[in-house]
Amino acid sequence: MVKTKYLIIGNSIAAVNAVEAIREIDRHGSLCLVSDEPYHTYSRPLISYYLGNKVEEEALLYRPDYFYDLNKVQAFLGDKVVSLNCREKQVVLEDKTYIQFEKLLLATGGSAIMPQMPGQNLAGVFTFTTLDDAQRVKKFIATHQVKKAVVIGGGLIGLKVTEALVALNIQVTIIELADRILSATFDRTASRIIERALKGIGCACLTNTTVKEIRQGEEDGRVGSVVLKDESQIECQMVIVAVGVRPRVDLAREAGISLGRGILVDEYLKTSVEDIYAAGDAVEAYDLIAKMPRPVAILPTAAKQGRIAGYNMAGGRKVYEGSIPMNSVELAGIPTISVGLTDPAMLADVDRRNSLEIIQDYRERESIYKKIVLEDNRIVGVILVNKIDRAGIYTGLIKDRVDVAYFREYLLKDDFGLLSLPREYRKHMVIGQGIEI
């Protein structure tokens, strides 16, 4: 039996930030961390770069290898929690180790969604969310000299793995159920720019369709093709399924912790059970733009939640005020940023949808697109494609709910910057009290 003051289940960005926050307040309280992955904490967004041979495995680490020792963490890596007893404040690991805790953080993350379809168990079918996934894909490509691949899903994960495969000289076809790629992040114009860029590097994008079957090829037990819903067939030796992730809540569900689509938490990131907190992709927390709780599986949100949860576990009292969905990624050589509510057409609330105003600047020949969504003269969403240098200012205006009525005519200008903003707000944005601008 291991006894600890703090127990963290998970080892990604939320867990790491929780460790650091706990140690800011409590340097000596015993702290255990359990992860079913055997690796030191690593950056999941970088696994596509590892697959595409742009970085070595060592470069995936986002904390030094002495991180656990520095923070006096007893790490149980490569061991899975198989049961959680909230009443006894105890977990059991797969190797039969019992750990008793005073405070627990569930930072269990998300797991890849695998739709049910014939042929999904053939060799050459993969998901792509973990380092293990990347290593399996890498090994399969090297072993079987893959020349053609199908990526199911045109979201951020699907597009980043596509880039990696193209870098390996593999011909890729993206299959997307929606009417465009990146439908959860971009509007049609932004999606069209990226789709055109992908075609420019030799990648085909098929939208409004889906894979109904994965068929075996000439090699027994291995992928040979996929069949689409219109019965057309695409030859391939590998299929990557990248249709999204869902919060990992099995442990919380079995323990009787309240759930929605993710683990439900309050403003202190406490769950429905005393002394148990949750943070990261497994959580359903308040979204400032949607104005409702929902899972937001992005790195900055997980980091912020982990830090606040760790701080509160150690006796602090910080409020999590909510998240703003945000993605910053380069796709097919084009830098992009999306923040907040980017496509009002997706809102279920018709009255709110009709009250929103859109201003935009689209330069098709240059593949430059800037879009701002306004609600009551306050920015609630931004898309920037190929010209992203003012993203920080826009994001600040969203977070601070600044009324832009007096300078909205400057918002889309290329020289828009701090000097375009009200004087008092400029002072607020500059680090250092009393600085005059």
Angle of CA points 348, 278, 75, to nearest 5°: 140
What mean pLDDT do residues 100-124 have? Answer: 96
What mean pLDDT do residues 195-216 have? Answer: 94
**136 domain residue, yes or no:** yes
Poorest-pLDDT segment among 188-197, 251-260, 396-405: 396-405
pLDDT classification of 432: cutoffs 50, 70, 90: very low
| H-assigned helices in 323-413 | 350-355, 391-399
Is the domain of 118 the same as that of 202?
Answer: yes
pLDDT classification of 424: cutoffs 50, 70, 90: low
State the pLDDT at residue 431: 46
3-class secondary-structure state, position 243: coil
**420: pLDDT strictly greater than 80:** no
What mean pLDDT do residues 289-315 have? Answer: 90
Is the domain of 119 the same as that of 238?
Answer: yes
What mean pLDDT do residues 61-85 have? Answer: 95
**229 domain residue, yes or no:** yes
Poorest-pLDDT segment among 72-76, 233-237, 359-363, 406-410: 406-410
Which of 422 and 402 is assigned the larger pLDDT?
402
Average pLDDT value for the chain: 92
Task: Judge contact between 99 and 80, C-beta under 8 A.
Answer: no
State the pLDDT at residue 436: 31
Is the domain of 378 the same as that of 412?
Answer: yes
Task: Judge contact between 42 and 140, C-beta under 8 A.
Answer: no
What mean pLDDT do residues 153-162 have? Answer: 94
User: In percent, how much of the chain has pLDDT > 90?
Assistant: 77
Is the domain of 162 the same as that of 134?
Answer: yes
**298: pLDDT strictly greater than 50:** yes
What mean pLDDT do residues 45-60 have? Answer: 94
**169: pLDDT strictly greater than 60:** yes
Is the domain of 96 the same as that of 172?
Answer: no
Choose from 47-56, 295-304, 391-400 the range with maximum mean pLDDT.
Answer: 47-56
Is the domain of 175 the same as that of 93?
Answer: no
Is the domain of 30 the same as that of 128?
Answer: no
- Closest residue by Cα to residue 155 from 226, 71, 243: 243
**197 domain residue, yes or no:** yes
pLDDT classification of 232: cutoffs 50, 70, 90: very high
Which of 308 and 327 is assigned the larger pLDDT?
308
pLDDT classification of 297: cutoffs 50, 70, 90: confident
Instruction: Among 243, 267, 289, identify where a domain stops.
Output: 243
Q: CA–CA separation, 31 vs 244, rounded Å?
A: 32
Q: Domain span at residue 163?
A: 113-243
State the pLDDT at residue 434: 34
Token pair, residue 290, equals 């949607």
Is the domain of 209 the same as that of 298?
Answer: no
**159 domain residue, yes or no:** yes
Instruction: Among 243, 261, 293, identify where a domain stops.
Output: 243
Is the domain of 129 the same as that of 237?
Answer: yes
Q: CA–CA separation, 259 vs 316, rounded Å?
A: 25
Which of 133 and 433 is assigned the larger pLDDT?
133
State the pLDDT at residue 429: 58
Give 31's contacts (C-beta < 8 A, 6+ positions apart): 4, 5, 6, 7, 8, 19, 22, 23, 71, 72, 73, 74
State the pLDDT at residue 346: 76
Token pair, residue 12, equals 């990604």
State the pLDDT at residue 110: 94
State the pLDDT at residue 426: 64
State the pLDDT at residue 430: 54
**350: pLDDT strictly greater than 70:** yes
What mean pLDDT do residues 325-343 have? Answer: 90
**321 domain residue, yes or no:** no
Is the domain of 31 the same as that of 74?
Answer: yes
**50 domain residue, yes or no:** no
Q: Assign residue 360 the CATH number of its domain.
A: 3.30.390.30
Is the domain of 238 the same as that of 153?
Answer: yes
**13 domain residue, yes or no:** yes
**294: pLDDT strictly greater than 90:** no
Is the domain of 92 the same as that of 120?
Answer: no
pLDDT classification of 34: cutoffs 50, 70, 90: very high
| H-assigned helices in 236-375 | 250-254, 299-313, 350-355
Give 182's contacts (C-beta < 8 A, 6+ positions apart): 154, 155, 156, 159, 190, 191, 194
State the pLDDT at residue 437: 28
Q: Assign residue 175 the CATH number of its domain.
A: 3.50.50.60
**28: pLDDT strictly greater than 80:** yes
**303 domain residue, yes or no:** yes
Task: Judge contact between 50 and 161, C-beta under 8 A.
Answer: no
pLDDT classification of 427: cutoffs 50, 70, 90: low
State the total domains in the chain: 3
